[in-house]
C-alpha cells in the first residue's frame, strides 16, 4: 500500500499527464472543433490535493470492500465532471466507441431501440431485416439478462455496451415477452446495423411528413433524399411539409445547421459563445433549396439540443410555424474529446443562441401553436345522415369524393397521431385561405 506521500505523488503525476495530454497531444483535434482547453484551467490548491489524497488513503485502508486505484480515479473523474453540469461526463474506453458509432449512424449490434422503463431494459422498436427482427423480438419485450448478467437496475449506457459488439459475434439474451410474460433465451449474431436518422412519408395525399429521429452525420442529405422520395409518391405537387422533431434528443450541431440550410437561403442559423473565444461559432444559411413550401415543425418535451437549434432558427426566420409542446430547453453545446487511453470526455463548452439572440437554456422553444396530448375517440351519441338506412343519394357525391377521401385520411390520422393531424390541418387551412376555396383539399 502506498503511503500518503506516495498517493499524492501518483495523483499529481496523473494530473500533470492529463493536463499535458489535453493541452498538447490532442491540440490539433481540439482546434478543429473549437474546444481546445488549457493547462491554466487547473486551479486546485496544494491543500485541496492533500485532502484528495487523504480521502483516497482512507478509502483504500478502511472501506468495507477492497477498491482498486483505477476504480477510485474513475469515480473521482466522474464526480468532478458531474459537479459541473448535467451534460458533462467522462466516457470509459469500453463505451466511447458507441458514442462515435451513434454519430456515424452505423454500429455492430442487433437492430433494436431500447430504453430503461421502471427499472427494466425494454425494447422500444425493432428494425426490419435485423438480428432482433429475425429472432422475433417485439416492442415492449423486456431484456432481463445479457450473457448471463442481470439487467435489473442497469443504466442505458451499460446495456448498450453489452448489446453492441463486432459484427459476427454472438450475444445471449433472456427475454420476458410482452404478450404472455414468459421468459425465453435467444442467441443472436451481431450484424452491421445502419440506423437512418430520417423517415419520410406522404400523408393526406399532398403533404410530406419528414421525421428526424436524431442528428447524425449526413442527416441533411438523408432529409433531402426523403423529401424527393415523398415528392415522387404524390400524384400532384406537394402543398406543405411537416418536419417532425418530436422525441429528437439532438446530436451533431453541424447536421442541424445543414438541415436548417435546406429551408432558408440567408441569415444566421445559430451562434455559440463560450468562456474561451475559441469555442465560439456562427453559422449562416447558403442554400434554401426547400424554401418555398409552407411548413410546420412539430416539437415536444423530448425535442432537445440540436433539434431546438432547428426549431428556433426556423421560428426566428418566420419560415415555419412551430406546433406542439415546449421543448426540453438544452441551450448548451457539448464537445466529445478523445483521450489517450481510448476514453473520452463530453464537456460543455459553450451556450448557443438562436438567430435573434435568444438563449433557450432551461426555457425551451415555446411553440406558436400549443397542441395538448389527447386521444381521439368516436362519439357514440351521434349518427350522420350517411349512416342511416334508406337515405336519399346525393347526385353530386362523386364530385366531392376526392375531398371526402382527404377528410377520412385526416380523421384516421387523428386517431393515430393527433399532433401530426393538426399540423396537416393547419397547412390545409393556409392553402384554403390562399386559394379562397373552402372546398379545397
Question: Which has the higher per-residue pLDDT, 295 or 433?
Answer: 295
Residue 1 pLDDT exceeds 70:
no
Residue 263 vs residue 2, higher pLDDT? 263
Residue 103 in this model has a pLDDT that exceeds 80: no
Residue 441 lies in a domain: no
pLDDT over 70 for what percent of the chain? 85
Q: Do the domain assignments include residue 380?
A: no
Question: pLDDT at position 33, please?
Answer: 40
pLDDT at residue 391 greater than cutoff 80: yes
Q: Where is the domain boundary, 370, 399, 417?
A: 370
Four-CA torsion 409, 415, 418, 421, nearest 10 degrees: 0
Residue 100 placed within a domain: no
Pairing label, strands 268-273, 191-194: unpaired
Clarify whether residues 298 and 393 are in a common domain: no
Is the confidence at residue 87, as pLDDT, over 80?
yes
Q: What would the pLDDT profile of 269-306 be if each residue is shown by its tens digit?
A: 999 999 989 889 999 999 899 989 999 999 998 899 99
Minimum mean pLDDT range among 295-299, 348-352, 367-371, 386-390: 386-390
Q: Are 347 and 354 in contact (CB under 8 A)?
A: no
Of the residues 141, 261, 300, 316, which is catalytic?
A: 316
Q: What integer pLDDT is reported at residue 436 of this predicted model?
A: 67
Span of 183-192, 201-210, 242-251, 404-413 with lowest mean pLDDT: 404-413
Nearest to 92 by CA among 108, 70, 112: 70
In this structure, the answer to whether residues 177 and 264 fall within a common structural domain is: no
Q: Which region holds residue 130: left if phi is over 0, alpha if psi is between -120 and 50, else beta?
A: beta
Average pLDDT (392-413) is 74
Average pLDDT estimate for 78-98: 88
Cβ burial of 50 (10 Å; 0-12, 13-18, 19+) is middle
The Cα 241–Cα 375 span in angstroms is: 24
Q: Is 351 a catalytic residue?
A: no
CATH number for position 288: 3.90.226.10
Residue 31 CA to residue 52 CA, distance in Å, equals: 32
One domain for residues 251 and 362: yes
Is residue 356 located within the same domain as residue 317? yes
Whether residue 352 is found in the same domain as residue 397: no
Residues making up the chain, counted from first to last? 441
Q: Give the structural domain span for 391.
A: 385-435
- pLDDT over 70 (residue 13): no
Residue 215 to residue 257: CA distance in whole angstroms: 10
271 and 365 in one domain? yes
- What are the b/e assignments for 90-127, b being 16+ CB within 10 Å? bbbeebbbbeebbbebebbbbbbebeeeeebbbbeebb
pLDDT value of position 53:
87
Q: Is residue 120 part of a domain?
A: yes
Assess whether 185 and 239 both reside in one domain: no
Query: Would you say residue 317 has pLDDT above 80?
Result: yes
SS3 51: helix
Same domain? 349 vs 260: yes
Which of 168, 194, 220 lies at the terminal end of a domain, its last residue? 194
For the ranges 2-6, 209-213, 335-339, the lowest mean pLDDT is seen at 2-6
Of 214, 224, 303, 305, catalytic = 305
Indicate whether this model's pTM tops 0.85.
no
Q: 115 versus 38: which is more confidently predicted?
A: 115
> How many angstroms separate the CA atoms of 254 and 352, rounded?
13
Q: Establish whether 244 is a catalytic residue.
A: no
pLDDT over 70 (residue 11): no
Angle, CA of 243, 247 and 252, to the nearest 5°: 75
Beta carbons within 8 Å of 113's beta carbon, 6+ residues apart: 123, 124, 125, 126
- What tens digit of pLDDT does each residue of 40-62 get? 434 557 888 889 889 989 999 99
Looking at the predicted structure, is the pLDDT value of residue 14 above 80? no
Based on the fold, state whether residues 205 and 346 are members of the same structural domain: yes
**285 and 264 fall within a common domain:** yes
Q: Which three cell numbers stand for residue 236?
A: 400532384
pLDDT score at 45: 73
> Rounded CA gap, 112 and 124, in Å?
7
Contact residues for 439 (Cβ-Cβ < 8 A; gap 6+): 400, 403
20 has pLDDT over 60: no
Q: Of 194, 227, 249, which one is at a domain's C-terminal end?
A: 194
Q: Which among 143, 164, 168, 163 has a CA at the least distance from the CA of 153?
A: 143
- Per-residue pLDDT tens digits for 402-411: 567 787 888 8
228 and 331 inside one domain: yes
Q: How many domains does the chain have?
A: 4
> Is 330 annotated in the active site?
yes
Options 141, 330, 332, 419, the catalytic residue: 330
Mean pLDDT rounded to a whole number for the chain: 85
Q: 72 φ, ψ to 5°?
A: -65, -45
The arithmetic mean of pLDDT across residues 119-142, rounded, is 91
Amino acid at each position: 500500500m502506498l503511503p500518503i506521500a506516495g498517493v499524492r505523488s501518483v495523483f499529481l503525476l496523473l494530473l500533470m499527464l492529463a493536463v499535458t495530454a489535453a493541452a498538447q497531444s490532442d491540440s490539433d483535434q481540439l482546434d478543429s472543433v473549437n474546444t481546445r482547453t488549457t493547462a491554466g484551467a487547473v486551479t486546485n490548491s496544494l491543500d485541496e490535493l492533500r485532502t484528495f489524497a487523504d480521502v483516497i488513503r482512507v478509502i483504500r485502508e478502511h472501506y468495507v470492500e477492497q477498491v482498486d486505484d483505477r476504480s477510485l480515479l474513475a469515480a473521482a473523474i466522474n464526480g468532478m465532471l458531474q459537479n459541473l453540469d448535467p451534460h458533462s461526463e467522462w466516457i470509459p474506453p469500453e463505451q466511447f466507441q458507441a458514442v462515435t458509432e451513434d454519430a456515424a449512424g452505423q454500429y455492430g449490434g442487433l437492430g433494436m431501440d431500447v430504453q430503461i422503463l421502471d427499472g427494466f431494459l425494454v425494447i422500444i422498436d425493432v428494425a426490419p431485416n435485423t438480428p432482433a427482427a429475425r429472432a422475433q423480438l417485439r416492442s415492449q419485450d423486456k431484456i432481463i439478462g445479457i450473457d448471463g448478467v442481470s439487467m435489473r437496475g442497469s443504466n442505458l449506457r451499460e446495456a448498450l455496451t453489452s448489446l453492441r459488439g463486432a459484427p459476427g459475434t454472438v450475444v445471449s439474451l433472456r427475454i420476458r415477452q410482452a404478450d404472455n410474460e414468459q421468459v425465453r433465451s435467444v442467441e443472436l449474431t451481431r450484424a452491421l446495423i445502419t440506423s437512418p436518422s430520417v423517415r419520410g412519408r406522404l400523408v393526406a395525399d399532398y403533404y410530406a411528413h419528414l421525421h428526424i429521429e436524431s442528428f447524425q452525420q449526413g442527416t441533411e442529405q438523408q432529409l433531402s433524399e426523403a423529401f424527393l422520395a415523398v415528392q415522387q409518391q404524390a400524384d400532384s405537387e406537394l402543398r406543405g411539409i411537416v418536419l417532425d422533431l418530436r422525441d429528437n434528443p439532438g446530436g451533431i450541431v453541424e447536421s442541424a445547421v445543414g438541415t436548417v440550410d435546406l429551408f432558408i437561403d440567408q441569415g444566421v442559423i445559430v451562434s455559440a459563445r463560450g468562456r474561451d473565444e475559441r469555442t465560439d461559432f456562427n453559422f449562416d444559411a447558403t442554400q434554401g433549396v426547400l424554401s418555398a413550401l409552407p411548413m410546420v415543425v412539430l416539437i415536444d418535451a423530448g425535442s432537445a439540443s440540436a433539434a431546438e437549434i432547428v426549431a428556433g432558427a426556423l421560428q426566428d426566420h418566420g419560415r415555419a410555424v412551430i406546433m406542439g409542446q415546449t421543448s426540453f430547453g438544452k441551450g448548451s453545446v457539448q464537445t466529445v474529446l478523445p483521450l489517450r487511453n481510448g476514453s473520452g470526455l463530453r464537456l460543455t463548452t459553450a451556450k448557443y443562441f438562436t438567430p435573434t439572440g435568444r438563449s433557450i437554456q432551461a426555457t425551451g422553444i415555446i411553440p406558436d401553436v400549443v397542441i395538448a396530448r389527447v386521444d381521439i375517440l368516436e362519439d357514440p351519441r351521434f349518427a350522420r345522415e350517411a349512416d342511416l338506412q334508406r337515405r336519399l343519394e346525393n347526385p353530386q357525391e362523386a364530385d366531392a369524393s376526392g375531398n371526402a377521401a382527404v377528410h377520412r385520411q385526416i380523421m384516421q390520422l387523428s386517431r393515430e397521431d393527433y399532433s401530426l393531424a393538426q399540423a396537416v390541418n393547419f397547412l390545409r387551412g393556409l392553402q384554403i385561405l390562399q386559394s379562397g376555396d373552402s372546398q379545397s383539399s
